Chain A
Amino acid sequence: MTDALDRLDLLELDADLEEENRLLRDTVRKFADDRLRPNIRDWFEAGELPARELAEEFGALGVLGMHLEGYGCSGASSTQYGIVCAEIEAVDSGLRSLVSVQGSLAMYAIRAFGSEEQRQRWLPPMAAGRALGCFGLTEPDAGSDPGSMRTYARRDGEDWILHGSKMWITNGSVADVAVVWARTDDGVQGFLVERGTAGFTTTDVHHKLSLRASVTSQLSFDDVRLPSDAVLPSAEGLRAALSCLTEARFGIVWGVTGAARDALAATLDYAGTRTQFGRPIAGFQLTQRKLAELAVSLGQSQLVARRLGQLKDSGRIRPHQVSFGKFANVKAALEICREARSILGGSGITTEYPVLRHAVNLETVFTYEGTHEVHTLVLGAQLTGLDAYR
């Protein structure tokens, strides 16, 4: 497999890794090989994830909220965060989702919009993986159009009363704290709702064909009474929620290159050893054409990820550039995994090989954090100055 990874690195991107980034990459890769890979098939097939134990292991390593400063976070660069996302998603998109939601959605929201007390209380245990967070924006009737959300928080004296529901929430039922977005009389605001608060219940989504190694839940708020300090004081309007998503999408841009790389490496190995008509199937021109196209597409997405890393680390990145990355890389990864599956023939439809598992996971990634279509329209609006969807 190492050999396949070397051969796939046609642009020698690996050689350019700085010493510190290489050490980081090697550390996560080893952790993933020791602790995640041996179990991922079981988790995926069972549709169950030991999210709490995993969070503690990720926390000990320093993965959770790694790109945030202070409060027990590692203070890594965005590029380093991206490198780590790619290694984790090379095992499974569900595991990367756990990390993204914790670090880029829940922790980022508290870091960026929380009060000092909220940060002190939640960020250190969340960085250590002792506390889990989730991020509730999507609702049963408000997906691509979150502005149409119905969840509503009204004031009752000093308190707030929260009512409504959230759908498709990653880490929902295992979270100690939910970052929940709701309409108020002063526009959309963010609230921290603790697990166990009266009137707050969760139900897991079962029967998933994708992202099975991830907890997905519905959150229900039945007139949940929240104290005045449950609100995120600096989160003004839907813009605040959307800025968290831009943060998490950046991790996806890198992460999916890991899934695609893993699928392609497994396929390259398989093609070299599977013999038909008296020779390895890798020796057929049709197979080579597929491999060439997929490897080139992988290299291109890795370049896009690096470029966005540079832009983000220099503080210049703009939301439509993150849309560029999500648009380009998720589509590329999905196509790589689907096409690679065909090279594995019948073996490719089992979980013995990671390829189709990655492909079905990427169907979720194609849809969440802004659907592919929505990012298309963001790019369209950027190019033309005409908004086609709002």
Chain B
Amino acid sequence: MNIVVLVKQVPDTEGDRKLDPSDRTIDRTSVDPVINYIDEFAIEEALRLKEEHGGDVTILTVGPEQATVSIRKALSMGADKAVHVCDEALHGACAIQTATVIAKALGTVEWDVAIAGSEATDSRMSVVPALVSEVLGAPQLSQARKVSVDGSTVTIERVTETGFDRVQAPTPVVISVVEKINEPRYPSFKGIMAAKNKPIEVLDTAALGLDAGTLGLVNASTAVVSFEVAPPRAAGQVVKDEGDGGVKIADYLASKKLV
């Protein structure tokens, strides 16, 4: 069974993240880039499925040149190879464009299961896995906290507000996972040394048969119209309990129309 993991590089959430005022896209230089947090769980799940069922794990990343660092880390965790779609024309691409590019890139690899994290910490739209399956016309198994494979049938436990649903689909299938699913491994030193010899195929949009003139910021289906830097947090209000703490809290909540 061959698996592709969709991995996004994002600015580290621990850093002071910014938008670039000139075109209102993410400023990728001000903060260290890292693998999107939930994508590490997607990589781990792919490696576990490979350990159980055999096959290859391919990392698929759409992103600028510096995304190689994240690709190498994914390879050092144990993935076999990578496809990196890298093209200036994709600067400012919207979710729909990204999904179209991913769907095309998936066409260059043999795969049965594509696994993604359920959300990226930068844009936080949680739509790309669904869009990819829509573009491909492949079934989608979303928000998985458990994945099992039996031949060409994939079953997941989809997290819901009250518990979980058991959902099944035939391969090829697009899965998105939540962080409850596993505990990502540390790359091993041998993995780190081996990663530099693993193949990364770099493709531009032309190689995928896409017209660069239809892509990028100017053609995006969504736009950031304006943004403001969040005001510094105001000092909190301290309520001293003089036997009437409960009343004071209730009054406060009422004043905010919360009760």
Contact = CB atoms under 8 A, between A and B. Distances in A.
A20 B192 contact: yes
A20 B188 CA distance: 12
Given A30-B186, A31-B186, A24 B14 contact: no
B227 interface: no
Contact of B196 (A20, A74, A75): A20
Contact of A61 (B14, B189, B193, B196): B189
A61 B73 contact: no
A27 B187 contact: yes
B186 A66 contact: no
A23 B187 contact: yes
A61 B188 contact: yes
Interface residues of A, number: 18
B259 to A, nearest CB: 38
Interface in B170-191: 186-191
A87 B173 CA distance: 42
A30 B188 CA distance: 12
Given A2-B14, A76-B193, A23 B72 contact: yes
A63 B192 contact: no
A20 B194 CA distance: 10
Contact of B190 (A23, A31, A74): A74
Contacts of B72: 19-20, 23
A74 B192 CA distance: 9
Nearest to B12: A2
B84 to A, nearest CB: 15
A58 to B, nearest CB: 10
Contacts of A66: 189
What are the nearest 7 A-B pairs in CB distance? A62-B189, A74-B189, A62-B188, A74-B190, A27-B187, A62-B190, A27-B186
A66 to B, nearest CB: 5
A332 to B, nearest CB: 28
Contacts of B192: 20, 23-24, 27, 62
B98 interface: no
Given A2-B14, A24-B192, A19 B69 contact: yes
Contact of B193 (A2, A63, A74, A84): A74
A63 B195 CA distance: 17
B76 interface: yes
A24 B189 contact: yes
Contacts of A80: 189
A60 interface: yes
Contacts of A76: 189, 193
Given A23-B73, A23-B76, A60 B188 contact: yes
Contact of B189 (A2, A30, A63): A63
Contacts of B187: 23, 27
Interface string B191-231: 11101100000000000000000000000000000000000
